[in-house]
Structures are given as structure tokens and as C-alpha cells.
Structure 1
Amino acid sequence: MTKRPARRAVLSGGLGAGLALAGAVGVGGVGSAWAVGGGGRRWGAADGGGVGEEYVPVPVGAGGGPVGSDRVHVLKVGPRDARTVVVLVPGMFGAANDFRLMARDLVARVPGTQVWAVDRREENLADRSGFARGRGADPVGYYLDGRYRALEPAAAGYVGRWGLERALDDLRCVVRAARAGGRRRVVLGGHSWGATSALAYAAWDFGGRPGYRDLVGLAVLDGGVRGAFEGTGAPVRDSPEEVRERLAAIAGGQVFDMTLSGVGLGDRAESTQIWYQLAGWYAHHDPKGRSVLQDRVPEALRVPFPVTNAALLGSFVDAGFGWPNDISVHSGHLAAAADADGVRGWVDDGITPIGRVAEAYAGPVPGVWEWYWPARLSVDLDVSDAFADTDLARSLGLRLRHAAGLDIPLYAFQTSYAKGTVVEGARRVAAEARVPYAVYESDDSMNHLDPLFAATAHNTATHTLTEFLGRVTGTARAR
């Protein structure tokens, strides 16, 4: 979720508690990809928690992919007549629904604000049709029995060219649409590697125009540049030798980043994402029902007694099960006793109720997970950590020419994930540029994904970002 193993090896020391994950998602067959029509999808107030929501396509430049892939999508939350738009970029393997819950909280507290959460063009490649077949849907059969449309690396050579330049050109189409010719203010932000992307956008040279001139503020959540991820224990892989090796692998056909295969839920690019969305889908639609997935879960990960759908999702995402910080939340625990049918449920006693995770994970459109993360984008984002116009950056076509001129306010929030280096990196950015003021916030009680899904009352990120947005836009503080 957005999540992301944040580009690092997901299981650097195993899962703890002796868990060694195994298993696979099957492949094969041909399915029809889930598609959103040209007019997008809209939801009323009842679906949007009291605010308007819509999911719409934004045309972007040609990227060499299949028909229908030259667009990104945006989840818009809040009033259409808002004077300020907060554009949020998800992190590694993340997607627009990462931000829906946070967006609802922000627009309820900052008057005149709309939030746009971005789905990168890679989202067009995922087959989500198995989640959209009405009440008779059987997503577990569609996906785990391999009936979905899988994308093979050999048929996706174009993804090898989808690096940071492609992503930021696409993002600029979104930012320019949000600005509406200068009639609206735009604050750009992101989570994890989405934060890195937002900062790179600000420093990028768009035909002689610095990216930061499109913006009135920057908001980075648990990510960034200038050593932001060093505290994770997995520093960026940006030496010239490592970059040459990684580019050679991409040229040889390894176009997808396979980091999530380290979770052990399958060895395909999309395997882990499918498992997590399945868990969320069933937990959202039938939280107290006996788990549909439990008998299909790899034995090493399977809870040794019957559990509900909600409890199964909890075992996949809660930090108490030994999951690394970057892919976990503080939600709760399994019930100590079974119900009358011998099934144990889930007890919420953390800052992130499992129902909120399920609501986000369930999708299908927009979703929380990006199935096919480009390996080239990982290379470029690692190199962007220097946040400078270096020889290596130029050799990759990265136009990071305007970092020193950055002259807009900056907000940075960190959890326990990177042990303080997110804020340290943000301080370096501000000190080396012309940032008029910066706000640095921390909450060590949170893991990397908690800011995305935590309950409103306990979400320090939402509360402090609300105050920052109020200051940047000149609007009243939280209502």
C-alpha cells in the first residue's frame, strides 16, 4: 500500500515468529481487463462519506503500451469548485485508493479543498474484472485458479521504458488539469516513493520551467530524498555499477520490479497484490464470515484454527504477525476465543481498524495495489535520492535541475519506519534550497502504512497535514 516495501527488499530478515512464506498465484487463461469508460465513474455523497467522489481518466502522452494505456486515472474527493487541489502520488506498488480515507478527512477539515489521488498508467494493465461480477462474484476462483489475464514480461517490453521521465510527464498532465490554467492552487504530495516522486517533480525541468512553479506547497509522507530511507537499513542502490547492472537486466527482459515476490505469496509480479486484494475484498464484503481464503493460504502462513475473513486480513497486515514495518499497520489481534461455530474473529485495539484497511483494499476500482511496477522507475527513483543534476542523473535523462531554487513551503511526516531519516532528508532539502518555511512532524507509534488507513481520531498525519494546508492556502484550521 502504497506501501511499500518502499523499494527495499521486503523480507530482509524473515518474518519473525518463524514464518517462512510460500505459495503461488496461478496464471493462465485470458480475462477481460477491468475498464473505466471515458467519462469515468462517479459516486454520490452516500458512497463518499459525505463528500463527492469520482474516478476519471486524464489523457497523457504516448508511452508505447497497448491501446488504452496512454492515460492515467485520478480519484477526486471533495467539492469540484474547490480553490485548492491536493494531488497525492502513491508509493511503490501503491495506487489511488491508498488515499481515499485520508482524502475524506482532509476535505472535511480544510474548506475549499479537493484531493486528487493519482493512478499511474501501469494501472491500465491489471485485470480487475474478477472483482466486478455482481453478487455472484467468485474472485478467489478467478484469480487463484489462474483465469485472469496475466501480463507476461516478454510481451511488455514497453514497460522497460516507463521510468521517472514518463511518470513525471504523466503527473504534469494531472497537475496542469488541477491548476485549471492557474485558477486553482496545487499542493503536491505523496507517500513513500510517491513522496520522492513529488520532490523530483518540484526539481524537474519541464522545457525550461521548474516543476515547483506549478505548486504552492509540497507534502511528503514517510519518504523523500537526500537519505530519507537510510534509516530503514536498506539504502538506495545508486552507484554507477549497480545502475549499469540493473539497466542491463531490464534490457534483458526483466521489466517488472519483483520486490513483492519476497513476501512469498507467489513468484509473479502481481501475485502478492492479488492475494492482498482478495483478502481485503472478502473482509469488506463479509467480515464475520468464515474465511474463504484460509484453506488456500500457504501452509506456513496459515493460522492453525478457523478464522473470519476480517481476521485473515488482519493476519496479512498487522505488525503483530511479524510483518516488516513497510507493509504493516497497528490494527489489533485475533480473538482469544472462538464463536459458536468455532471460528475466531478480529479484535480492533490499534490505531488502524481492520475495517478501514478492508474498505481500501477491496477495490476493485480504484485499487490500493499496482500490479506491474516498472523496474526502470525503481532505478530512476533510487538515483533521484541525490536530488541534484549529477552526471549519473543526466545519463538517465533525469532533469533534476532546479532543487536549489525550490521556494515553496514544505511539510514532512515520518513514522517509525525510517528511524528519523525522513525528516533529516527533508531538512537537507529545505536547507539547500529557498524554502520559506517547513513543517516537520513525527509519530513513532505508527508503521509505514498507518497514515493511510488509521482511524481519523488517531491519525497524526491527517491532523498535522490539515494544519499545514490551512496555513498554505490561508483557510481556516480544522472544523
Structure 2
Amino acid sequence: MRVLKVGPADATKVLVLIPGRGEAAGGLRLDAEQLARSVPGLQVWAIDRREQALADLSGFEGTAQQATDYYLGGHEATQTAASAGYEADWGLATELNDVRRVVLAAQDHGRRSVVLGGHSLGAAAVLYYAAWDFDGTPGYRDLSGLMVIDGGVRGALAGAGIDFSLTADQATAWRAQIAQGQVFDNATSVYTGFGDQPQAAAVWYQLAATWAAQDPHGPSALADKVPAGFRPTQPVTNAGLLGWMLDQHAPLPGYSVHSGHLSATGDWVDAGPTPLQRVAESMAAGDPAAWEWYSPNRLALDYFAGSAYSDNAVARSQGLRLQHVAEVDLPLYAFESNLTNGTVDAAASALTADTRIPRVDAQTDDSMTHLDILFADPAHNTFTRTAATFLDSLR
């Protein structure tokens, strides 16, 4: 595991952030920096899950051309079910036990209070942690607050057309697929159209971002190499290609930013809350990276199995220890973009009915996308502004 730490080392409060599906700690850097600047006495820690240690990021240590030659030339060290079969057992218990190690380190023997937050599916992990039984200790007792950022449980993503309901038979069939060798979750690559290799989307987005960061106005080096569905309809610059991939021609709403548009010459023109160079520099960085490569399929299964947020038969069949839902008594902040049409806030607010959550600070900005939350300019980022107010209100 790696943890990105931003803000003063002598902070009295730490916000620990969990990335979403396909995301890694580097994608949370800009928000972490803004929140640490905005809230006195706050340090922000962003987690790289243990599986990110399997990613071969060495090709991004040089120039964009060197990175292109390395990854498109077939030189990267890839992982397979044979080389990393142990990941078949890395589910929610593995993730939450790792998160708890980070939370306890952040507490520093009680010297600091800890707030747990997560983006997208990382938001579900936040709530799972709060209700989890860690050998007799409920997770919520480690924390002073919870933050769900464009995600959650109990239909939080239903407004985006994402159904997490799972039957016991479906869970059994999913486990059988993992046992037969489907160790990695390749949904990010498949859904975005980059292929069936689990790391494909991460590699392509980081390559495009690296070119856009290093030579934004030069003719695109990748436009004729990206998968056919991402090829622009006109000649573009390196910045133009990244903008095309993430804005004008984003594959899905969850993978888009509001940044601007292509000019007549194919260069990128900023005209939105998220300047493209902020995105390029964040996604190009490799220490830590913004994209996760080898997410465990078992973790995805467990996220689905726990989505009802109760200690039911499906959750127990997966070994999920959601035994303290009714006891969770922490203030909850919820933020949603235009992705879900209101279901994130509604699902968060509904949790007060069968938990002891004393208050929900629900915030919405329909002008922002799921990724604008991570990369928007601070002056246009409603999330960081409202989250700072919530964090400042906690002890």
C-alpha cells in the first residue's frame, strides 16, 4: 500500500480518502491539496489500494515518446491470473483491513481525529467501514465523520442506471468465474471501450495525458493509434485528443469532464470549470498515478454483495461483516454531480431511518460531472468548497 499525504504534518484532523473503481490516489491529489489549504489543521491522506503495487508504471518515468514506445511496444510487465492468482482472494475484507491500518496510523494514538471519505465506489467503502466488525470493534468508532462523494449504498447510483442488487445465486456464479481465472475486474476498460485487458483504459488515458501535459499544442502522436472508437473526426493536437476522449467524445458520463471544445484547427479551447491542463498533469503523473490497473474481481463482487447495507444472507455468504449498521452515529456529508439525478443524496439521507446518523449534509451541483469533482478549478468546484465547511464543523 501507498498513501499520498497532503497538508501539515502537525494537523489535528486527517481526512482519509478512498478512490473509486479504476481510480488511484493520484486522481485525488488536487482535491486533497485544496481541502488542506481550506481547512485549518487538516491533513489529507489518499490511499492506493495494495493491488496498485502490481502496476508497471516505470514507462512513464521519461518522455511521452518513451512511454509510448514502452507500452505500445509491448514492453510493460503485465499481470495474469497465473502471476497474480492470489488477488482472487482480495475482497472487501482485505480492503477494509488495509484502510483500518491507515486510519489507525492517521489517528496517531488518539492525537488526531479521522474523517473517512470516498469517491464513487470508494463512497460505498466508507459506509462499509463504518458498519464493519473488526474483531469486536465497530469501524465507526475509529472516526469522527463520513463523506460519500458521488456514490454510496442502497441504490445511490441508481439514477445513473447502475444496479448493484445481487442474489445469492448470482454471487455463487460470480465466485465460480473468479475461481476459473477471472481474477481481475476489467469493467473500466470494457465499459469505456478500450478492450478487455484490465489495465488498458489506465494505460491509454495516461499516455494521452502525458502527451497533452508535455506537448499540448503539437500534432497528436496517438490519434491514429487509439482504439477506433476514440479517433477524432479531424486532425487534433495532443491536448485536442485528450479533450476529445474526456469531454467531446467521452465514452460514458462517469468518465467525462466539462472542459471545453476543439477549435477549427484541432487544438483544445478551455471553456468549462475543468481546465484541460489540470486533468492532463494529474493523469500524467505516475507517483502516484490517477488510474488503477489491476482491481480484484472479488472486490467488485463484494461491493455488490454489500450494497443493501445490511447483514443479510448475500453479505454473509461473502464473509462481509456488516454487523453494526444500526449503530453508526457519525455526521455524514454527501455530494452528487449530474451523474445520478438525485439518488446519491436521497440514498444518503435515507440512511438516517435505520442508523443513528445525527445529520446529513447533502450537496448537489448538476453542472459538474463525476470527474469534474476531482479536477475542476477550485473557483468552480462546489465539492471542495462545501466539503471544507463540513470538515471544519467536525471536532
Normalising to structure 1: TM-score of the pair? 0.80
Partner secondary structure for residue 387 of structure 2 = helix
Task: Look up the equivalent residue of 1:223 and give its one-letter code.
Answer: G
**Structure 1 position 267, deviation (Å):** 2.4
**2:64 and 2:214 in contact (8 A); partners too:** no
- Higher relative helix content: 2
1:461 aligns to what? 383
Which residue in 2 is equivalent to 1:206? 134
Alpha carbons 1:75, 1:118 under 8 Å: kept: yes
**Could you tell me which residue of structure 1 aligns to residue 156 of structure 2?**
228
2-structure distance, mates of 1:152, 1:240: 28
- Residue 91 (structure 1) aligns with: 20
Tell me, in whole angstroms, the C-alpha distance in 2 between the residues paired with 1:322 and 1:74.
29
Q: Give the conservation status (yes or no) of the 8 Å contact 1:130–1:137.
A: no
1:101 maps onto 2:30 in alignment: yes
Q: What SS class does the counterpart of residue 156 from structure 2 fall into? A: coil
Alignment-mate amino acid for residue 236 of structure 1: F
1:185 paired residue among 94, 113, 124? 113
Please give the alpha-carbon distance, in whole angstroms, between the structure 2 residues aligned to 1:136 and 1:308: 14
| Separation in structure 1 between the aligned mates of residue 64 and residue 253 of structure 2, nearest angstrom | 36
Provide the residue aligned with 2:78 in structure 1. Answer: 150
2:109 counterpart SS class: helix
Cα separation, 2, equivalents of 1:157 and 1:449: 31
Which secondary structure does the structure 2 equivalent of 1:79 belong to? coil
Paired AA for residue 103 in structure 2: V
Return the alpha-carbon distance in structure 2 between the equivalents of residues 137 and 75 of structure 1: 27
Q: Deviation of residue 132 (structure 1)?
A: 0.9
Question: Does structure 1 conserve the Cα–Cα contact (< 8 Å) formed by 2:117 and 2:126?
Answer: yes
Structure 1 position 304, deviation (Å):
3.2
List aligned pairs for 1:302-313, cutoff 5 A.
302-313=231-242
Matched, 1:261 2:190: yes
Q: Say which SS state the counterpart of residue 147 (structure 2) adopts.
A: strand
CA distance in 2 between counterparts of 1:453 and 1:197 reads 22
In 1: Cα distance, 2:131 partner to 2:352 partner: 12
State the alpha-carbon separation in 2 of the partners of residues 186 and 300 from structure 1.
Answer: 43
Unaligned residue ranges in structure 1 (runs of 5+): 1-71, 339-343, 474-479
How far has the Cα of 1:322 moved from its partner? 4.9
Counterpart amino acid of 1:240?
Answer: A
Contact 2:64 2:207 survives alignment (8 Å): no
| Cα distance in 2, alignment partners of residues 236 and 99 from structure 1 | 25
The alignment status of 1:282 with 2:204, answered yes or no, reads no
Q: Give 1:408's aligned residue.
A: 330
* 1:75-154 equivalences in 2 (<5 Å): 75-133=4-62, 138-154=66-82
In the alignment, what sits opposite 1:365?
Answer: 287
- AA aligned opposite 1:235: D
Q: What is the distance in 1 between the residues matched to 2:339 and 2:325? A: 25
> Does 1:378 pair with 2:297?
no
1:165 aligns with 2:93: yes
Check whether the contact 2:64–2:211 (CA below 8 A) recurs between aligned residues.
no
Confirm or deny: 8 A CA contact 1:107 1:113 kept in the other structure: yes
Question: Within 2, Cα distance between the matches of 1:224 and 1:303?
Answer: 35
The equivalent of 1:35 in structure 2 is none
| Pairwise CA distance, 1:363 | 1.5
1:6-21 equivalences in 2 (<5 Å): none
Work out the CA distance in 2 between the residues paired with 1:136 and 1:168.
Answer: 36
Q: Which amino acid aligns with 1:190?
A: G
What per-residue deviation string (whole Å, max 9, x for no partner) do you get for residues 103-162 of structure 1? 1111111000000000000110000110113x5860001001111101112322111100
1:465 is displaced (CA, Å) by 0.3
Specify the SS of the correspondent of 2:350: helix
The AA in structure 2 aligned to 1:158 is Y
Runs of 4+ aligned residues of structure 1 deviating over 6 Å after TM superposition are none
Within 1, Cα distance between the matches of 2:88 and 2:216? 39
SS class of match (2:335): strand
Q: Confirm or deny: 8 A CA contact 1:204 1:402 kept in the other structure.
A: yes
Alpha-carbon spacing, 1:424–1:136, altered in 2? closer, same or farther (3 Å) = closer
Aligned equivalent of 2:252, options 324, 334, 340? 324
1:347 is aligned, of 269, 279, 302, to 269
Q: 1:421–1:290: structure 2 CA closer, same or farther, 3 Å change rule?
A: same
Provide the rounded CA distance (Å) in 1 between the counterparts of 2:154 and 2:35.
28
Consecutive unaligned residues of structure 2, counting only runs of 5 or more, are none
**How many Å separate the matches in 2 of 1:108 and 1:427?**
29
C-alpha separation in 1, matches of 2:229 and 2:120: 29
Alignment partner for residue 395 of structure 1, among 314, 317, 332? 317
Contact 1:85 1:186 in 2 (8 A): yes
1:361 partner letter: M
CA RMSD of aligned residues (A): 1.3
How many residues were matched structurally? 394
- Could you tell me whether the CA contact under 8 Å between 1:90 and 1:194 is conserved in 2? yes
Residue 237 of structure 1 deviates from its aligned partner by 4.1
Do the aligned partners of 2:230 and 2:249 also contact (CA within 8 Å) in 1?
no
